[in-house]
Amino acid sequence: MSSKEYISLNCLPIGKLGQVEYINENNLKRRFLDLGLIPNTMVKTERYSPSGNPIAFNIRGTVIAIRKEEAENILVRMV
């Protein structure tokens, strides 16, 4: 994987779409999979909370808030 092709989900700009490419192996991976964050899923950054943490993402038509530190574990390709 080229680091230039992929960014972590927490770096995806507001209003932009990203396609999930990889989820790091950790204790949160199962939670992400349960939320529908599986490879090739389209994700859109909706908004940041006033403090910048958590971040709201639109995943399969549902808005879900994910902490910045958790979103760092998900790599996406900007679409």
Structural domains present in the chain: 6-78 (2.30.30.90)
Measured over the CA atoms of residue 14, residue 17, residue 18 and residue 20, the dihedral's sign is: positive
Q: Is pLDDT at 4 greater than 80 in this prediction?
A: no
Global pTM reads 0.85
DSSP symbols for 7-74: EEGGGSPTT-EEEEEEE-SSTTHHHHHHTT--TT-EEEEEEE-TTS-SEEEEETTEEEEE-HHHHTTE
Q: Could you read off the pLDDT of 12-48 as tens digits, one per residue? A: 999 999 999 999 888 888 888 888 889 999 999 999 9
